[in-house]
Copies of this chain bind each other. A is one copy, B any other.
Amino acid sequence: MTPTSSSTSPLSEFALIDRFFAHATREGEHVTLGIGDDCALLRPPAGEQLAISTDMLVEGRHFFADVDPRALGHKTLAVNLSDLAAMGARPLGFTLAIALPDSQPAWLSPFAEGLAALADRYACPLVGGDTTRGPRNLCVTIFGSVPGAQALRRDAAQPGDDIWVSGTLGDARLALGAIRGEWTLSDGDLALARRALDWPEPQVTLGLALRGVARAALDVSDGLLGDLGHILERSSMSARVNVDDVPRSALLAAQTPAIQRMCALAGGDDYQLCFCAGSAQRPRIEAIGNELGIRVTRIGTIALPDARRTRLHLHDKTGASVAADFKSFDHFQ
């Protein structure tokens, strides 16, 4: 692409990839050609489909400039692994395109370590990339594989399906609110909440276990109610959700009811799975949860849309209606 003049750093593009990302790169069963050619070459498992997702992270918007780079490396890959998890796909590899104001070895080294540690854990190697100079921006594209008929699509929810959520929701938003000064937390509580914000764990193993068990699924990244809304819209369904059943941590449960609801229902950055499954699957799903040590909670039921086409009907544990006026996050709203 068009070169504009600049010359400040002794570290070349190729050396940068070699030096910092070599340990996230390897050729193997599915990667027949890695970094260093015009393209990487991947051999997907025969008969399976390729699941692809891309996410762009911008400094000041998706992460703070002073975030721990090791945590950012982890999270950059985690949010993409979470998209594979939500599809029931097995990770195959990923590309990383990165813009930095300069070559920043002191920042890149821990960033690459955080990224590589998670890549190793899910056998998901870095297969290609691009490095350039510019305002800090990270773009990961990830590839997984899934038998086509078992993919957990958003458009597959059926009337009568249970709605499930993994883990607990809202701690990341609780941390963000404290950082922003919307509310206060003790140092210990903030450190606890901040772990959820900075080190989300993608639910890859759960997604794989739910193949053939759940019908529809997605990952909760922009807030439960907004994300569930995508399933309802794509499946042309409505849902009844008991907001008091939405799982929250002991830390969040100790906050005011208003903070609890805002964080758990519309918080964002949770990276848990929300999935729909027939009621006959309840014992199987509870067994999966026990086996994996992952909390799974039923929070509501899918139904055909009513005459007024209201998608989401919220109520509390007393059965009283709750207004669905929580906004999920939209980058251009």
Contacts and interface: CB of A to CB of B under 8 A. Distances in A.
Interface in A46-61: 46, 49-61
A52 B89 contact: no
Contacts of A329: 3
The A contact surface, by secondary structure, is: mixed
22 contacts: A1-B57, A1-B75, A2-B176, A2-B268, A3-B176, A3-B329, A13-B330, A16-B332, A38-B84, A39-B83, A41-B52, A42-B50, A42-B52, A44-B50, A56-B99, A95-B141, A103-B332, A132-B331, A133-B331, A135-B135, A139-B141, A141-B141
A63 to B, nearest CB: 6
Contact of A42 (B36, B49, B221): B49
A66 B38 CA distance: 29
A284 interface: no
Interface of A: 1-4, 7, 9, 11-14, 16, 32-33, 36-44, 46, 49-64, 75, 79, 83-84, 86-87, 89, 95-99, 102-103, 127-135, 137, 139, 141, 143-144, 146, 148, 151, 153-155, 172, 176, 197, 217-219, 221-222, 230, 234, 268-269, 329-333
Nearest to A175: B2
B37 A87 contact: yes
A79 B38 CA distance: 11
A180 to B, nearest CB: 8
A2 B38 contact: no
